[in-house]
Chain A
């Protein structure tokens, strides 16, 4: 009995280690061998060896180094087996001369850490290359850097496992066939390319934030945002995204209680995570000092204003409207305009909010939150019939169970 409990705990530990070191190991192997599939297979093999050995012999002091070394040896064997790999093998021989073996890491951990971060940065730029479809970028990033299994990636995006496996194979095929480089882009390309990386990470975060069933994606995105922030501390938008995610994460528990949506006005602010808020606000202040604003920094600043308020009533809404004005210039999308209209309604009243939404009706017809916002404003104006219609429409369009539940309650209260 105790034995089986112990081994189950070990198995969990081993799994956790895998998840943590997967992106690191794959990135390093990709740098050495220049081939994603080879890297993935070798890391997978190393995990199989570890699954057999670690529960008996204990987890090694440097599990990541152990996995990388074992995987590298596997990959070298694999390359040796392929007659055509001869040339590559010679190249790898030269490259690995400068790579540590996992057991000899201790003295130079820091140096190794740095090169590992660089490897991960290179690989995320490859995964988010604009020549790949956006849905492929997201899937590759989660698989290769987040260490999610194909099945986990598939269920995160509500597609079947075979469909997701096919998507990943196609994306990897294109990287190889078109020779998409493993490289941090040149300065000239960096702003655009970074934008694409940051958008992928934010999309991953939002996918997790919008659906309690996929909450694990929030953790993955936070981890990715942290490493991007660490790796590129001089890129204001990279740290801006980190601030935005950290400030959203601070309130994630309060937004969803027992799987039900809780509006900002009704949230228990004592459950907000003060240390995450402090971290996010410090970054936002740094961004303001740096004065190179961009969409992620502005969105983070808006979240920072919300986090500043002790109560919903104490929110500095006119400051928020001003920030949305700036954001609309940097990111002129209908969704941003909708959020500005919602803030405007708090400053100037629901009538003003409704008029600001009118020009968005066509663009956002299929977006449930546009109808929900209209419903809320119409209800405040006492136009209950119209409010009911708006909430009904929002309910029809909502994607997640939690949102549907919430919107249904709004409709029912008006009937």
Chain B
């Protein structure tokens, strides 16, 4: 059994596109609810969260006189993490199958990152 981070990416500026209709939003929320119920009943689900936009992010570095706090993410990039799932899966193929379901539900690409298994390595 391995753990994977499924990180959902969003492109900054996408908000300027046609906003989803009430109905589309409703449909997506229902899709997410069903998906997460499936994840939970199959023992796949570990944790999930949605994140605010990059305007809300803050960077902390260590400096000589204490922490240096600045606005924004490390790298100004068009794409940033918008949310994530942490899941249990037997192997990469199983994780990719869940990733595919997430992609189809939310309509955004995701990255699949394996966790370092501290038990055995």
- B120, A179: Cβ atoms closer than 8 Å: no
Binds A, one of B10-18, B35-43, B61-69, B91-99: B91-99
Count residues on chain A whose CB falls below 8 Å from chain B CBs.
12
Give the total number of A-B pairs whose CB atoms are below 8 A apart.
Answer: 27
Q: How far is the CB of A297 from chain B (nearest CB, A)?
A: 27
Q: How far is the CB of A42 from chain B (nearest CB, A)?
A: 19
Binds B, one of A115-123, A180-188, A241-249, A372-380: A180-188
Taking CB as reference atom, which chain A residue is nearest B93? A181
Assembled-state Cα–Cα distance A178/B92 (Å) = 6
Assembled-state Cα–Cα distance A129/B92 (Å) = 10
Assembled-state Cα–Cα distance A33/B84 (Å) = 33
B2 at interface (Cβ–Cβ under 8 A)? yes
Assembled-state Cα–Cα distance A386/B94 (Å) = 56
Taking CB as reference atom, which chain B residue is nearest A175? B92
A108 at interface (Cβ–Cβ under 8 A)? no
Assembled-state Cα–Cα distance A308/B2 (Å) = 54
Q: Which of B79-121 contact A (CB under 8 A)?
A: 90-93, 96, 112, 114, 116, 120
Taking CB as reference atom, which chain B residue is nearest A85? B120
- B92, A180: Cβ atoms closer than 8 Å: yes
Size class of the contact patch on chain B: 10 to 19
Main DSSP-derived SS at the B contact region: mixed
Assembled-state Cα–Cα distance A180/B93 (Å) = 7
A177 at interface (Cβ–Cβ under 8 A)? yes
Assembled-state Cα–Cα distance A304/B4 (Å) = 48
Assembled-state Cα–Cα distance A376/B55 (Å) = 61
- A181, B96: Cβ atoms closer than 8 Å: no
- B93, A177: Cβ atoms closer than 8 Å: no
Residue-by-residue, is A169-181 near B (CB-CB < 8 Å gives 1, otherwise 0)? Answer: 0000000011111
A292 at interface (Cβ–Cβ under 8 A)? no
Q: List 19 A-B contacts (CB under 8 A).
A: A84-B120, A129-B92, A131-B96, A177-B114, A177-B116, A178-B112, A179-B2, A179-B90, A179-B92, A179-B114, A180-B91, A180-B92, A180-B93, A181-B90, A181-B91, A181-B93, A183-B91, A183-B93, A189-B93
